[in-house]
């Protein structure tokens, strides 16, 4: 390209056309260190008719003289050049920019390798239980190590399946962990003695909710719900006509079902599945992707929380009034969500966020390594920490609020 530019004056001279002077290199006005998610930069240069610029790339594109782009926290490089008459160009000006988190950074101080396809975790009795979708096992993690594994499902034959777990703590003597095998159409109960019980269910059990009386599973993108009575240990099937379910929770005496196409939260009778109330989800934010409208549901303290990955947002639904509040997730698109210790803990494909459970205000955040193939990230809360799983990387990471003492060992394993 330099050789081509060198020929321009020669060609213009041959044609008797004067070569216009090159524009001056641009002056870049804007913050070099900022907590803004989308800082604004102004470009000025003598004889410039336009600008080319890019963040973190040597390939420049057309830019207006006032330019802004959403940036993740960290160090970024902005490159800018001026463009003048007859496509004459200045040298490239390079500016380094540091974007800081505007809130305290959460402590991500323990990462444990558990296996590719790490699914939705559960916590119980000081351990974290992680279903491994790739091989149908359940990994039990204590103090940063996998201490045992049990086969509970069926190994996945395709990317895109997700196994899940939930804890059942009716009493200290009746503790159990339940898992749902997406590939195997199977729900398995493992009690504190290691005894297992298997329930064959409808295809694609997508997630679990537990109360003192029953365990429920929704079946992905259908209106089918499996209900397991904990007294009789029998499974029955409930149907919600027209529903395409993506999440489930039990709270305030009702079963709550998250659906997509359309995006709604349905309040259900927990015994019959009858719809008691329909709450539409209409986020006021523009679409950022076109994957799926809703993804996960969590409950606590008078509200259910839904993740809306296409809009980069979460919704808080008051279970008494049905009022919906929407909060945008600043660092990545949200998939997993859990509620605990007065906060909603959101797992995006780039970060873990701590939101105030009442107001939705951002209280803390930390960046996490991005997925490599899928956007499957999940989270659970228990024993003073959030437990974040990365499906692609096959890891579970302990996330704590700043100043929160660890409840387990803090060794880090890769």
Q: Which of 55, 76, 99 is the last residue of a domain?
A: 99
Say if residue 123's pLDDT is above 60. Answer: yes
Tell me what pLDDT residue 171 has: 55
> pLDDT digit string (tens) for 71-80?
999 999 999 9
pLDDT-derived band at 173 (thresholds 50, 70, 90) equals low
Do residue 65 and residue 47 come from a single domain? yes
Do residue 233 and residue 379 come from a single domain? yes
Do residue 61 and residue 125 come from a single domain? no
- Number of domains into which the chain is organized: 2
CATH classification of the domain holding 299? 2.130.10.10
Asked if the structure places residue 411 within a domain, the reply is: no
Residues 6+ apart with CB under 8 A from 31: 39, 97
Do residue 95 and residue 215 come from a single domain? no
Q: Which domain holds residue 95?
A: 28-99
Do residue 87 and residue 214 come from a single domain? no
Do residue 279 and residue 384 come from a single domain? yes
> pLDDT digit string (tens) for 139-171?
999 999 999 999 999 999 998 999 999 998 765
Asked if the structure places residue 151 within a domain, the reply is: yes
SS3 per residue for 38-70: CCEEEEECCCCCEEEEEECCCCCEEECCEEECC
Do residue 88 and residue 148 come from a single domain? no
Say if residue 136's pLDDT is above 90. Answer: yes
Whole-model pTM over 0.85: yes
The structure tokens 């379910």 sit at 245
Tell me what pLDDT residue 174 has: 74
Q: Which of 43, 75, 99 is the last residue of a domain?
A: 99
Do residue 215 and residue 363 come from a single domain? yes
Do residue 42 and residue 175 come from a single domain? no
Asked if the structure places residue 32 within a domain, the reply is: yes
Beta bridge partners of 386: 381, 399
Q: Which of 99, 130, 152 is the last residue of a domain?
A: 99
Do residue 205 and residue 343 come from a single domain? yes
Asked if the structure places residue 390 within a domain, the reply is: yes
Say if residue 4's pLDDT is above 60. Answer: no
């Amino acid at each position: 390209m330099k050789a081509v530019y060198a020929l321009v004056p020669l060609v213009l001279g041959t044609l008797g056309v004067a070569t216009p002077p090159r524009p001056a290199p641009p002056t870049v006005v804007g913050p070099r260190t900022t907590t803004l998610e989308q800082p604004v930069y102004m470009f000025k240069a003598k004889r410039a008719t336009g600008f080319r610029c890019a963040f973190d790339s040597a390939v420049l594109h057309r830019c207006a003289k006032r330019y802004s782009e959403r940036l993740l926290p960290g160090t970024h490089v902005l490159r800018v050049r001026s463009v003048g008459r007859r496509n004459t160009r200045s040298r490239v000006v390079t500016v380094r920019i540091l974007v800081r988190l505007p809130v305290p950074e959460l402590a991500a101080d323990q990462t444990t390798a558990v296996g590719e396809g790490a699914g939705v975790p559960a916590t119980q009795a000081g351990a974290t239980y992680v279903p491994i979708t790739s091989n149908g096992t359940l990994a039990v993690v204590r103090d940063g190590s996998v201490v045992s594994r049990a086969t509970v499902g069926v190994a996945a034959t395709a990317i895109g399946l997700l196994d899940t777990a939930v804890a059942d703590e009716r009493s200290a003597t009746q503790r159990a962990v339940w898992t749902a095998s997406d590939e195997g159409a199977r729900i398995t109960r493992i009690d504190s003695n290691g005894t297992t019980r298997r329930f064959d269910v409808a295809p694609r059990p997508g997630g679990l909710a537990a109360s003192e009386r029953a365990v429920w599973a929704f079946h992905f993108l259908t209106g089918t719900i499996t209900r397991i009575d904990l007294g009789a240990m029998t499974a029955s099937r409930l149907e919600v006509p027209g529903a395409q379910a993506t999440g489930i929770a039990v709270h305030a005496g009702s079963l709550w079902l998250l659906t997509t196409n359309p995006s709604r939260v349905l309040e259900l009778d927990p015994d019959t599945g009858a719809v008691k109330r329909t709450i539409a989800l209409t986020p006021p934010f523009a679409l950022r992707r076109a994957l799926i409208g809703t993804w996960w549901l969590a409950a606590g303290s008078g509200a259910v929380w839904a993740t809306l990955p296409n809009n980069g947002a979460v919704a808080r639904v008051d279970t008494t009034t049905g009022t919906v509040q929407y909060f945008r997730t600043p660092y990545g698109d949200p998939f997993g969500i859990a509620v605990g210790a007065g906060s909603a803990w959101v797992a995006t494909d780039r970060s873990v966020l701590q939101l105030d459970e009442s107001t939705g205000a951002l209280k803390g955040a930390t960046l996490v390594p991005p997925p490599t193939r899928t956007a499957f990230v999940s989270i659970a809360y228990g024993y003073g920490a959030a437990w974040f799983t990365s499906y692609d990387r096959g890891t579970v990471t302990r996330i704590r609020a700043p100043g929160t003492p660890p409840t387990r060992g803090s060794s880090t394993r890769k």
